[in-house]
Structure 1
Amino acid sequence: MLEQLESDFPEHQPRPAGAPQALAGIKVVDFTHFIAGPFPTMILADMGADVIKIEAPGRGDDFRQYPPVHPELAQGAPFLWSNRNKRSVALDLKTPEGLEVARALVASADVVVENFSTGVMERFGLDYESCRKANPELVYCSMSAYGREGAFADRLGFDPIAQAESGFVSMNGYADRQGVRALSPVMDISTAMMAANAILGALVARERTGRGQAVEVALFDNAVLMTGYATLQHVFSGAEPQRHGNTSPDTCPSGVFEAQDGSFYINCGNNKIFQRLMTQVLERPDVAADPAYASGRERSQRRELLFALLGEAFAKQPWSHWQSRMRAAGVPCGQVRSVGEAIRSPEARERRLVTRIPHPQVGWVPNMALPIRYSRTPIADPVAAPTVGQHTQEVLREALGYDEQRFAALARAGAFGPPAERHEPAGTPA
């Protein structure tokens, strides 16, 4: 496991020494789990915020066990992907002492983020109304499936459910079969990005007004947004979006074609691109000049005939031939790749999207960069996701001023879980 890291991926290049960070000095207390909650707090951590992840002693975030799990890390690749640059504090919120520590951390925080089921934070006394009494400047982001209020507040939701109920599934796949979900958790990731944006906006508002606020982002709301402009197309026309496979209902020709040695996608988004495709790439000025192909609507009506013409031409040469010609002509195109091919591609290497970063237990672990580039406040250097409770003592000393005596008393009271459940890496305070 991970044997090919050094040969496949470059080492991460550190940020310039002494460069400022966009969110330096911002403290985030993170009560999240799975994807939609931890991913926005990781974005904030990458921007320089101090993110303190509160986890149950022993087991921690259930997402740690999503496969494949590295035997030495005791966490899976998905957790590693979504929890870098955080510090983990293990607290048993079911004990008065553990809850007391959590409330003290919240009182010292700039931001709280949670994505528990509706009602859980209220039962702990960690809901927004309770927290803002001790910390009026707090930005409190609550993430849920269908909102925290109303008839559906009790409903649980996961990414594929949101894909299905939002109409997203109905739009994807082929017309002769059921719609299909996206395997990538697109709703979780996009909800997380929306939450990060919302938190940043609330922090800017706080700078201007001196007041914090509650922020809410619902998975279902975001999923409806992710159906794109199809929603308003439906409102205008009354028609439901149809499944078109790899083709487009709006532009033609757009779809997957076969070169001699593999598949590629082209997207002729307007008439000028189609003209360049036919004249400069395929050297078919006769087709470019044919009134039957003059507009996207007319080309869509003759899609089968046009695709047959293109397919016959593309099959005569390898992808490298067509790629160079289309790039020169300004025709958007791309090779159809597997995930493994994509992350090892020249484009991914050029952008340094996947690198390797040092890890004290296994030598190296992979890291996937955020698609954000700051010129003045570069993203923080990545530190691998923590073990459960790895930073408990460090954080409580630093943030709350606890000494050894106080820490020992909390430990005896079970605030950090029974002693057998506390997983302390060798040489690292729990």
Structure 2
Amino acid sequence: MTAQKALSHIRVLDLSRVLAGPWCSQNLADLGADVIKIERPGAGDDTRAWGPPYARDADGNDTTEAAYYLAANRGKRSVTMDIASAEGQALLRELVKHCDVVLENYKVGQLKRYGLDYDSLKAIKPDLVYCSVTGFGQDGPYAHRAGYDFLIQGMGGLMSVTGERDDLPGGGPQKAGVALTDLMTGMYATIAILAALTQRDRDGGGQYIDMALLDVQVAMLANMGSNYLNSGKPPKRWGNAHPNIVPYQTFACSDGYIIVATGNDGQYQKFVEVGGRGDLALHERYATNPLRVKNRDELVPLLAAMVQAHSRDFWIDQLEAVGVPCGPINNLDDVYKNPQVLARELVMEVPHPTAGTVKLVRSPMRMSGAPSDDAATMPPPLLGQHTDEVLRDLLGHSDADITTLRHKGIL
């Protein structure tokens, strides 16, 4: 008997688009949930048009599926529906009766105008778990503002601790290379939904989840936030260095860059001995980490010159041999050729209606009680690919009904 995935008994009605919400619903789909993605007729999720690059067919020609969209929408079914219309709203309310979770990221109050807010829907589905994702939450002076990842990274403090030191060339604030706040909000939303479903299993009730990008960004500052709250001093940017450990940073080799992360004095001693500078191990100004932190401005240039004298492979081979944490700074070509990435089979190919196959990154959630073979994972759906299937099989609409709704522009 084949084991079922953990959430194979859960159905999610996904009204979200772009990244934070879709990242959450993709997690739920990876765990086995039936995710029904509601999209605007003729347009769909904004990210469908966020290309190039696009998925390519067997002849190397671009399809209409942007790579950005593919990253966050596998395992879902796409249904087109005009929820601004009365008939579309009625259809959505029909669907809600068959779903456990509603996920949305509309502006505060917008779905209430359509009668699709939590209070309206829980009247027809009392045990509904309803999760709203917004920039700033459902209350407070910024509640009605639009929230975008880049803005929240700045407003929420992440950019104040990200980037090169202000007193060094290239210094200044930097955003993360991916939409980190969106992704973390999607992760927190996933956790909150799973917790709400677990509580529903105990008491039979649903609940409302209010997820805000700004809340998530402030929370994920972690030790930096705690440092400020307990010292009263805003932390500054350190670039690729560490405020509390030296050396714990990038260094330029003769042919590239490496990361060296010496977490204790013993590792530091081995590092400088490999580089032929054992004299720096017992130096009165560098012998302990507190001394190295205090005197970093004079020590780091000495270490930089030492590292520059040898190749990247030399340092990685020699430091790994003596147990000093180190590693390369890979581009994505390097990443996907990395033997560990290959061994973990992090890239999978799934059949696709227009591209033939598409390459996707496998979910990192590996569970012994669920199937480990994701070969049958559904690819990110084409716009409206499952509209007829869902309306016919789940809601019992006839083909004639569906044709009529489509002619009216509802689907």
What's the TM-score once normalised by structure 2's chain length?
A: 0.92
- Whole-Å Cα distance in 2 between the matches of residues 304 and 20 of structure 1? 57
Matched, 1:410 2:394: no
Percent of aligned pairs sharing the same letter: 37
- Whole-Å Cα distance in 1 between the matches of residues 202 and 253 of structure 2? 57
- Whole-Å Cα distance in 2 between the matches of residues 148 and 378 of structure 1? 38
- Whole-Å Cα distance in 2 between the matches of residues 292 and 169 of structure 1? 32
Query: Where does 1:1-400 land on structure 2 (aligned, <5 Å)?
Result: 18-70=2-54, 72-174=62-164, 175-176=166-167, 177-279=171-273, 281-282=274-275, 284-378=277-371, 380=374, 381-400=376-395
Query: Residue 120 of structure 1: CA displacement?
Result: 1.2
What amino acid sits opposite 2:403 in the alignment?
A
Query: Residue 283 of structure 1: CA displacement?
Result: 5.5
CA contact (8 A) 1:256 1:263 kept: yes
SS at match of 2:200: helix
What amino acid sits opposite 2:11 in the alignment?
K
- Whole-Å Cα distance in 2 between the matches of residues 258 and 412 of structure 1? 63
What amino acid sits opposite 1:294 in the alignment?
A
Residue in structure 1 matched with residue 58 of structure 2 by the alignment:
none
Query: Residue 284 of structure 1: CA displacement?
Result: 4.6
Unaligned runs of 5+ in 1: 1-16, 417-430
Larger relative contact order (Cα-Cα within 8 Å, sequence gap ≥ 6): 1
SS at match of 2:367: coil
Query: Residue 72 of structure 1: CA displacement?
Result: 5.0
- Whole-Å Cα distance in 2 between the matches of residues 60 and 211 of structure 1? 32
More deviation, 164-173/375-384:
375-384
Query: Residue 268 of structure 1: CA displacement?
Result: 1.5
Residue in structure 2 matched with residue 422 of structure 1 by the alignment:
none
Query: Residue 305 of structure 1: CA displacement?
Result: 3.2
Cα-Cα RMSD: 1.9
SS at match of 1:134: coil
Unaligned runs of 5+ in 2: 55-60
CA contact (8 A) 1:95 1:414 kept: no
Query: Residue 109 of structure 1: CA displacement?
Result: 0.4
More deviation, 40-49/263-272:
263-272
What's the TM-score once normalised by structure 1's chain length?
A: 0.88
Distance 1:256 1:212, change over 3 A: same
What amino acid sits opposite 1:396 in the alignment?
L
CA contact (8 A) 1:55 1:389 kept: yes
CA contact (8 A) 2:108 2:143 kept: yes
Count of aligned residue pairs for this structure pair: 399
